[in-house]
Structure 1
Amino acid sequence: MVQISRKISESSLFQNFITAVILLTAVLVGIETYPSMIQKYGPILHAMDKIILAIFVLEIVIKLIARFPRPQLFFTDSWNIFDFAIVAAAFLPIHAEYVTVLRLLRLLRVLRLVRALPQLRILVTALLKSIPSMFYVGIFLFLLFYIYAVAAVFLFSANDPIHFRDLPQALISLFRAVTLEDWTDLMYIQTYGCDGYGYDGKEAMCTAPQAFPVLSPLFFISFVMMGTMI
């Protein structure tokens, strides 16, 4: 039994079959986003979900048997723990009123595709290993935002109270700029002054117009270039 389970778990045919089932899971989860499809094919979708869950449970059982006489070795692989947790989550006692939670748990099954595709697994593993370095990148990005936001409040708050009246609003406006969402509007308001650009219909808020024809382009272009490159 152990030898048979080991051969099955290591066979490419079995692995390809599991990959196909995961892809089918992804399709079913997508179908469930259409209420009309659920209403029309609800029982069929529910039955297919049960079959898929049974296949995943059988996969776990086969892999556990393949590890005998030390089945605990199955849990020495982080990917196996991930697979086990996703399958086990389906057996949580979730009431009908929390159907959205149940659907989200089903959605997690799609993540098993990471395990099924070696190239994708390598990519995700490398990404996870880079998290410590990304933490320091995040610190640097925060410092960049903070310095520019404080400077923007000092420089532009009088001219542009909508976007730079205080530090929190300045941070939000700079986030808008770094995502390239109409960042040129922010620049033009400071370049031409609030009385010359951007405050149409909001003239009452433009109480102290001031133009920065040189400083504004330098400020925003430098911030956007650095922010988008990080």
Structure 2
Amino acid sequence: MTTLLQRIAQSPSFRSFIIGVIVFAGVLVGVETSPAMVQQHGSLLKALDHLVLGIFIAEIVVKVGAEGRQPWRYFKDPWNVFDFLVVAACFLPMSAQYVTVLRLARLLRVLRLVHVLPKLQLLVSALLKSIPSMAYVTMLLGLLFYVYGVAGTFLFAGNDPVHFGTLALSLLTLFRVVTLEGWTELLYTQMYGCDRFGYADTPALCTQPSAMPVVAVVFFCTFILLGTMIILNLFIGVIMNALQEAHEEAQEQEQARAEAAGTARTLDEDIVALEQQLSAMQEQLARLRGKVGRQAPPTTEPEPPRLRSA
């Protein structure tokens, strides 16, 4: 039974079937966002959702059963734990007010594609590996934001209170600038003053207009060069490096599995060869015993000694 379950769990057809069910589950959740579809085909959608849930439960049973007498090995894989939690979340006792949480839990089924598709799993592994290095890059970016945020508040708070009135607003504005979203409007407001640009619809907020063309150009251009052109590209470099490492590790693991499978096949072949040799030796020994039995002279019992008569 365990061997059969292992064959099913490792079968490419079974994996392709699960991928199709996951995609179907994602489409099903998308259809349920339409109130009209839910009203017209609510019972059918509910039945299909139960069918998908049943298939996922059967998948877990197959994979756990494939572990044989050590079913806990199924939970050693973090992706299997994620799959189990996604399925278990659908059985949580929730009232009507938490139905949105239940729908979001069902939406997590789509993320199972990351598990069943090796390439997506490789990308996620690369992102997880890059987290330690990205933390230092994030720290550097945070320092840059803080320095420029404080400077922007001191320089532009009076002229542009909407975007630089407080430190929190300055940091939010810098996040907008680092993504290159409408940063030229912010630049022109500081260059020409709020009375001439940027506050035409809200002139009451422009209480202290101040034009700073040189300071504004230096501030925004240096921040974009440091934040967007350099530090954000460091994130890309870190991710690419982690992706390369994850790819190499995946190749090493695949090679190790191939070598282990080759070693197992070699051992099986050696065992079969030894069994054949042993069988041949037993047959030869049986023939030799038969020959020895035919060539041996018949054994006669010695006659008892006769007594002489007196």
TM bucket, shorter chain: over 0.9
Q: Distance in 2 between matches of 1:15 and 1:72?
A: 21
Partner of 1:204: 204
The residue number in structure 1 matching 2:58 is 58
Q: CA deviation at 1:109?
A: 0.6
How far apart, CA to CA, are the structure 1 residues paired with 2:43 and 2:87? 21
- SS for the counterpart of 2:180 is coil
Q: How far is the alpha carbon of 1:31 from its aligned partner?
A: 0.6
1:156-192 deviations in Å (ceiling 9; x for gaps):
1122222212211111221222232321111101111
C-alpha distance in 2 between matches for 1:201 and 1:91: 54
Match of 2:18 in 1: 18
Aligned to 2:179: 179
- CA distance in structure 2 between the partners assigned to 1:32 and 1:178 by the alignment: 37
Quote the offset at 1:25 in angstroms: 0.5
Q: Which aligned segments of 4 or more residues in structure 1 are displaced greater than 6 angstroms?
A: none
Letter in 2 for 1:35: P
Structure 1 window deviating more from structure 2 (44-53 vs 209-218): it is 209-218
Q: CA RMSD in A?
A: 1.3
Q: Does 1:30 align with 2:33?
A: no
Question: How many positions carry a matched residue from both structures?
Answer: 230
**Residue 139 of structure 1: CA displacement?**
1.3
Whole-angstrom CA distance in 1 between matches of 2:53 and 2:201: 58
**Following the alignment from structure 1 to structure 2, what is the Cα–Cα distance between the partners of residues 124 and 2?**
31
Larger Rg: 2
> Which residue number in structure 1 is paired with residue 85 of structure 2?
85
**Is 1:106 aligned with 2:106?**
yes
- Give the match for residue 48 of structure 1: 48
Change (3 A) 1:97 1:210: closer
Counterpart in the other structure of 1:133 = 133
Query: 1:4 & 1:219 partners in 2: Cα distance?
Result: 68
Q: CA offset at residue 128 of structure 1? A: 1.1
- Name the % identity: 54
Deviations 1:192-229 (CA, angstroms, capped at 9, x unpaired): 11122112143333232221112212211222233334
Give 1:156's aligned residue. 156
- Find the residue that maps to 1:159 and give its secondary structure: coil
Q: 2: distance between equivalents of 1:162 and 1:31? A: 41
Range that drifts further, 61-70 or 153-162:
153-162
Cα distance in 1 between the residues matched to 2:113 and 2:47: 22
Bigger mean CA offset, 199-208 vs 94-103: 199-208
Counterpart CA distance in 1 for 2:92 and 2:206 is 57
**CA 1:96–1:204: 2 relative to 1, 3 Å:** closer
- 1:16 deviates by 0.3
Mapped to 2, the partners of 1:80 and 1:206 lie a distance apart of 58
Give the TM-score normalised by the residue count of structure 2.
0.72
Q: CA deviation at 1:138?
A: 1.6
2:213 aligns to what SS in structure 1?
A: coil
CA distance in 2, matches of 1:134, 1:35: 42
- In structure 2, how many angstroms separate the alpha carbons of the residues matched to 1:66 and 1:76? 14
Q: Match for residue 262 of structure 2? A: none
The CA distance in 2 between the partners of 1:132 and 1:26, in whole Å, is 32
Superposed CA deviations along residues 67-100 of structure 1, whole A, max 9, x for unmatched, are 0111111111111111111111111111233211
